[in-house]
Amino acid sequence: MVAPMVSSSWTCGSIPISKLNPSLRTKNGAKRTSFTLLNPQPRAALVEATPPPPPPQLPPPTTAAPKNGSIKVLELPGNSADNLNAETRAMARAANASVYSPEFVASKYGSQPLKVVGRAFQILSELGLFWLKLFLDQRNGVLDQNMRIRAIDLRNIFTRLGPTFVKLGQGLSTRPDICPPEFLDELSELQDGLPTFPDEKAFSCIEKELGQSIDSIFSSITPSAVAAASLGQVYKAQLKYSGNVVAVKVQRPGIEESIGLDFYLIRGLGILINKYVDTITTDVVALIDEFARRVFQELNYVQEGQNARRFKNLYADKEDIIVPDVFWEYTSGKILTMEWVEGVKLNDQEAIERQGLKVLDLVNIGIQCSLRQLLEHGYFHADPHPGNLLATPEGKLAFLDFGMMSEAPEEARFAIIGHVVHMVNRDYEAMARDYYALDFLSTDVDVSPIVPALRNFFDDALTYTVSELNFKALVDGLGNVFYQYPFNVPAYYALIFRSLTVLEGLALYADPNFKLLAASYPYFAKRLLTDPNPYLRDALIELLFKDGEFRWNRLENLLVQGRQDRDFSAKEALQPVLKVLLSPDGEDVRNLVIKEAVRVSDAFTLGTISETYQYIPDFMRTLIFNGNANGALIMSKTEIQSMIELRNRVLRVWGLLQSSNGFDPALLQPILQVLQQPEARRLGRRVMGGITQRLAVRFLQQLLWVPTTASR
């Protein structure tokens, strides 16, 4: 059962049904009968004694075979066999949706000089004064002191210049390679708080796009918009045929025209920046074109509906994630009808707590979903701000507004995890080389000058552990590095990092000690321990082995963290290492494993002997051990203690595996099967040979030991 939704990214708060305007007007101005919503109850299926006739030009939903002559079940869109056909019809209605093309925009607005000059004057008068202030600040040596003030000025200017610049400002807020940190902070607060357009125009647009009158579609609709965004505004309504409560988003009139003109001018400015501004190394025109394409895609509401459906299929498999369904029969290029979700914005902590919910629980849900978006499927929400995340009364997290989505390539997703491993190891040379794989730098850029900058930042930042590092401090610190060197951060990284920064900021209001990286660790640990991808197998081996020795403390920590992820499976843990161990090109790893297996066997044997020795009476020790006052072994106390600690750590690791979800002794069966392979048998013989040799050396040491005679 799906709860009705109050979309906080769309609403400033829901309007009670009892306060609906008693009348609406048709296109010709005639008074329309009011429609009343009486405590609507959403259901998986609506049961009626006699279903009303279908609205004009719309086929009725699929009906289940009636069990008697009077009852029929009307299925919701998510269950309807006709849903695909309805989506096809919606696509047909959006066939003429605009698509961004630099050539098309240039040809269209190049022939309208008066309109171009008028808008250019408005933009230049605003931005020109801003650049003048920056110039004077620099000349007077107060640029750094006034950076925050200028960032606030730019945020206000973008708000005044309208939808295109609001979107542009939000886009810049995710670009640490272009903007200094102060500007990133201020622009990230840029909201779509624009005035509404006349409701009559919105209702006229609905009727024109869907080819039906308002009262044939809805039994009720709010008389005015419940929220306005940069590209459109939203109404709350009830569908007449099914009774479902929905959110109806209507596109702002003339928005394509104004945005197209603005991007024509902005692109011209980008050409000048590329040509004359040496301090910005990023291809500004390419960024503008990419951003314009995304904004124009956002203007196609059918595309947004398809984005929502894909997002739902990928991420709403978790019980704590909600993605609203799309009502395709009532959707077009300029109209989007979706489920209405009851809830409050994720940044409204007081309202969340009044519902008996915890902000941190919801933030953790958002973090886990964001990590899956970035690192598993690579398809993610590209408009990261709190208004697009709702806390429902049931404690679930609802994602809204799917106009701007993005994708990260598979290679980049794995490279991010590898980068985290190098950061944990403080391997700054490897971190610098990662920027090639991450596509931050072209391969002809020398990374050696970047290594000291990374070392200077992380040696200060990583005073304790990575999990204790504030994520925003990490992003800001890396942003300073990116800003100083020729980095070109792909948009998909910047957007998801900004999203995670927003989530951490929300959590810090509830808990000043919250650390996003600590909350993310279980996911990273689980992926490293269970993912068979070759890149991640190499990253795991790199993390576990250092200077020829196996780091059991790292494995123990990975298991402790990974077990906290609800998808962790003991059956899959360490299988990637086993596969690479027995692979044809795993000789180097096999040599390390043989060495470690001998060391562990030595630790178990000697540790047991040492502990057994403690229980032997004193009068027998001299007789049995040839007068060795140090104990049963020819080893220092420090060396013996080290052996015991190694043995205990191995036992703790095994205990962690045994107590993990999904542990079953049968999980050893695949390992035993693998051990039957020729390579595994050869490996086993080498291990046993090493153990035997080590024990023989220990035995001879003990046998040939000569007690030292005390000097007189």
Q: Which of 289, 383, 434, 565 is catalytic?
A: 383
Q: Between vectors from CA 664 to CA 662 and to CA 670, what angle results, nearest 5°?
A: 105
Q: Is 515 in contact with 467 (CB distance < 8 Å)?
A: yes
Q: Between vectors from CA 364 to CA 363 and to CA 370, what angle results, nearest 5°?
A: 90
Helix axis angle for 587-613 and 637-658, nearest 10°, is 110
Beta bridge partners of 398: 322, 390
The rounded distance, in Å, linking the Cα atoms of 95 and 209 is 12
For the question of residue 565 being annotated catalytic, the response is no
State CA 628 to chain mean position distance: 62
The rounded distance, in Å, linking the Cα atoms of 620 and 549 is 38
Plot region of 280 (φ>0 → left; ψ -120 to 50 → alpha; else → beta): beta
Q: CA nearest 58: which of 43, 38, 77, 42? A: 77
State CA 432 to chain mean position distance: 23
Give CA separation, 152 vs 127, 130, 156, 184, 649, in Å: 13, 11, 6, 11, 54
The rounded distance, in Å, linking the Cα atoms of 105 and 112 is 11
Give CA separation, 181 vs 188, 354, 449, 494, 620, in Å: 11, 34, 22, 13, 72
Backbone angles phi, psi at 336, to 5 degrees: -130, 120
469 burial level (CB within 10 Å; 0-12, 13-18, 19+): buried
Beta-carbon contacts of residue 171 (< 8 Å; ≥ 6 apart)? 291
The residues that are catalytic are 383
